[in-house]
Structure formats: C-alpha cells, structure tokens
Chains A and B, each alone.
Chain A
C-alpha cells in the first residue's frame, strides 16, 4: 500500500494537470527504509511528449546524487498518461527499474480544465513493478504525516 499525505498527492495531480497534454513526471523522495514519500521533486520531461517521458540525463544524475547525500531513495516515481488510463504501459514496465518504489500513475484524460469536460476526474493509482510484473496497490491519503493516522483518513480503492 502507498500511504501519501494529501499535499503531496495534490502536488502530483497539479503537476500532471499543468503539463497536460504532455506527460508529467517526477519523484517523491523519502528516507531510506522508511517507505514515506516526503520530498516532492517534479522533474522535467525531456521528451516533452504526450506519449513518452524521460528524465533528462544530467537531471537524473543530479537527482540521485542529491538523494544519496541525504540518505534518501525514490519512494514514489510518478508520471501521467494524458489520453489513456492510469495503468503502466508496456513501455513503463520495460523501463521500470526501482523494485522498491511505488509507481504512481495519474491520468489527465478527463480533467476538466483542459478538456472542457463537465466531469473533472483525475485518476491516481499506484503500482509495484518488479521483474516485469505489475501489481496494483491501495492508496491511502493521510492529512499529514505529522499526526499519523487521523480520523479523516480517506482510503481510495
């Protein structure tokens, strides 16, 4: 299960909306071994494409150096799909190389601001991708890590 605080979840969704129709991508880093996504790091999609994303090679090196210095790991690796469902594509699976990360997929195909649709529904789902096998997991949005489980916790199935 992915447990993520609301502000971070909202930041991921806002990034995906802002970059629509191109795919948005980024990382939420957290202390090694904690499984807590704490530090939101939006990345540039070097591919600037509606069907592909890739971290710029120099940005990638800088990101991993920085996480290393801070004893962090990429707890969440997120990207958006802008015309299809929030589920890893074959390409996503072939590239996935962080077996301990939560791969978050956001779909902006039906978000209102850009599409003009009456409904505004941005899908937010999380997966593990290990050795080519995709497993969806629950996402629990907590108000804040500071207070742990609060009574207002919402579980999205």
Chain B
C-alpha cells in the first residue's frame, strides 16, 4: 500500500507526464518530501521557502482541503488519496 497523489497538468513536467504518483509519509509534509525525492522540483511548486503551502495551490487529503486540517502537518496514511489542484482564481 502507498499513498496515491494526483498531479495536475501543470506539474506533470516533473512526473514524466504521469497523472498520479505514489509516495509514503506520516504527514503531508513528509509525503511531499518523499515525492520530491522521486520527482525533483515538485516540492518548490507546492511549498514556499518559508515551508508553507503556496497560496495558489489546493491540496486535498481524500476530500478534505488541508487548509482546514493542519496544512503540511495533516496526517496521512496508506490508502489515502491526495489531490493537488491549482487554484482557479484571478483579479
């Protein structure tokens, strides 16, 4: 078992075009680090230099937006499904 992560179009340049990747970790932050090890460059698209999730990216664990569940500290476990979606927004 592993944690499946759905990758949006704009980040598939980091995953060889794959729509999903899988990784492991106890928290979302650890999972992102694990995926960064397999697909270098992806972390910088999700996490700021200060170690926070970028404002313009939405991450869901199962159906929950992690903004409401502890952001990168959100616990994850085998069998969870993580979805990354860029915000659709503008001025």
Contact = CB atoms under 8 A, between A and B. Distances in A.
A145 interface: no
Interface residues of A, number: 29
Interface in A19-60: 25, 27, 43, 47, 51-55, 57-58, 60
Interface string A95-108: 11111100000000
Nearest to A79: B90
Nearest to B55: A95
B91 A61 contact: no
A30 B86 CA distance: 19
B90 A97 contact: no
A77 interface: yes
A90 B90 CA distance: 8
B10 A54 contact: no
Contacts of A92: 90-91
A50 to B, nearest CB: 10
Q: How large is the interface on B (under 10, 10 to 19, 20 to 34, 35 or more residues)?
A: 10 to 19
A13 B38 CA distance: 45
Contacts of A96: 90
B1 interface: no
B85 A52 contact: no
A99 B65 contact: no
Given A58-B65, A60-B85, A64-B85, A88 B90 contact: yes
A153 interface: no
A53 B89 contact: yes
Contact of A57 (B8, B9, B58): B58
A94 B56 contact: yes
Nearest to A27: B88
Contacts of A58: 63, 65
Given A95-B89, A98-B10, A61 B58 contact: yes
The 10 closest A-B pairs by CB, nearest first: A91-B91, A97-B86, A92-B90, A54-B89, A55-B88, A89-B91, A57-B65, A97-B10, A95-B89, A95-B90
Interface of B: 8-10, 56, 58, 60, 63, 65, 67, 83, 85-91
Interface of A: 25, 27, 43, 47, 51-55, 57-58, 60-61, 64, 73, 77, 79, 88-92, 94-100
10 contacts: A25-B88, A52-B91, A57-B67, A61-B60, A64-B83, A89-B90, A91-B90, A92-B90, A95-B90, A100-B9
